[in-house]
Amino acid sequence: MTQHQLPIYIIDAFTDTLFKGNQAAVVPLEHWLPESTMQSIASENNLSETAFFVKNREGVFEIRWFSPLKEIDFCGHATLASAYVIFNHLGHPFCITFWAKAVGKIEVNALENELIEMRFPNREPVRVLDVPEALKTGLSIEPLEFYQNQQAYFAVYANEDDVKNVVPDLEKLKTLTPLDVVVTAPSKEYDFASRYFWPANGGVEDPVTGSIHAGLAPFWSKRLGKQSLIALQASKRSGVLYCCVEKECVFVSGACVEYMQGTIGLLA
């Protein structure tokens, strides 16, 4: 048997400080690996997501994301981390396009202020009136109202302290699969704050969730009457996201810090 070497990078996304933000593993590929192998690598990494990408003949980077448990339809922080790797290690111009089956094209640009900007589809949530019982009772502090988009239920609170102090009942929230749960409120220092729970799809709490800001930013844009917003994800690691809302899309930007690069040895 021979050993096949794959490059791997671990990037802290949505932060300019090492050991903050959300960790993503990035594995550039020349050809797709079997799905079971990619899932095994993601489970071994045991990070929120591991991103794999292949550059196709049109120059577009086809990207897939895996949590330790399953393949994920849409992941913002691992896309940000992948763009960082392409810009800084693969010698690519500072404007690229990703493609993912559930999202379509994601245009990414490196900005002058060392932020990386991603163009997401606008996934504004809609009000939920028939609230599942597991959602009503699955959060230790009762929200003011509930919303939903393709990805998650949104539990809206009056203030940031409620977001920071709420305790999820993970067994109840797990029954809401395939939807996750984001809790959110206006912020003291930023425009809005959130936390993200996904026990059925990835783990207990995601440190920083870029994808959900395709829904959070439009929601708070209307509430606050602002097109440009700065968001805090108030997890233990925490992260900051810069959002700009347009009718059809949401621009989400953030910084990255490289933690590690190495190789994976696969026997073939």
User: H or E segment at 245?
Assistant: strand 239-245
Beta bridge partners of 244: 228, 251
Check for a shared fold between 3-119+253-267 and 126-245.
yes
* Bond preceding residue 186 cis, omega within 30 of 0: no
pLDDT at residue 3 tops 80:
no
Map 79-135 to HEC letters.
HHHHHHHHHHHCCCCCEEEEEECCCEEEEEEECCCCCEEEEEECCCCEECCCCCHHH
Share of the chain above pLDDT 90, in %: 93
pLDDT at residue 44 tops 80:
yes
Which CATH fold would you assign to the domain 126-245? Diaminopimelate Epimerase; Chain A, domain 1 (3.10.310)
pLDDT at residue 101 tops 80:
yes
pLDDT at residue 94 tops 90:
no
Given pLDDT bands bounded at 50, 70 and 90, which one contains residue 1?
A: low
Structure-block tokens of residue 63: 């990207």
pTM equals: 0.95
Nearest to 60 by CA among 75, 41, 82: 82
SS3 21: coil
State the alpha helices, DSSP H only, in 144-248: 160-165, 170-174, 213-224
Domain ranges of the chain: 3-119+253-267, 126-245
Q: Tens of pLDDT along 51-70?
A: 999 999 999 999 999 999 99
- Report the C-alpha gap between 235 and 153 in whole angstroms: 18
Which CATH fold would you assign to the domain 3-119+253-267? Diaminopimelate Epimerase; Chain A, domain 1 (3.10.310)
Cβ atoms 66, 52 nearer than 8 A: yes
In sign, the C-alpha dihedral spanning 261, 55, 31, 121 is: positive
Cβ atoms 131, 158 nearer than 8 A: no
pLDDT at position 126, please? 98
Given pLDDT bands bounded at 50, 70 and 90, which one contains residue 178?
A: very high
pLDDT at position 92, please? 86
pLDDT at position 268, please? 66
Residue type, 118: M
Query: Which region among 55-59, 89-93, 176-180 has the lowest average model confidence (pLDDT)?
Result: 89-93
- How many of the other CB atoms lie within 10 Å of CB of 11? 27
Q: Tens of pLDDT along 190-220?
A: 999 999 999 988 889 999 999 999 999 999 9
In sign, the C-alpha dihedral spanning 78, 80, 81, 86 is: positive
Structure-block tokens of residue 169: 């009942």
Q: Which residues belong to the active site? A: 49
Given pLDDT bands bounded at 50, 70 and 90, which one contains residue 130?
A: very high
Given pLDDT bands bounded at 50, 70 and 90, which one contains residue 112?
A: confident
Beta carbons within 8 Å of 252's beta carbon, 6+ residues apart:
76, 117, 118, 120, 210, 213, 214, 217, 241, 242, 243
Greater confidence, 52 or 1?
Answer: 52
Residue type, 96: I
Please state the φ and ψ torsions of residue 135, each to the nearest 5 degrees. -75, -40
What's the mean pLDDT in 1-6? 79
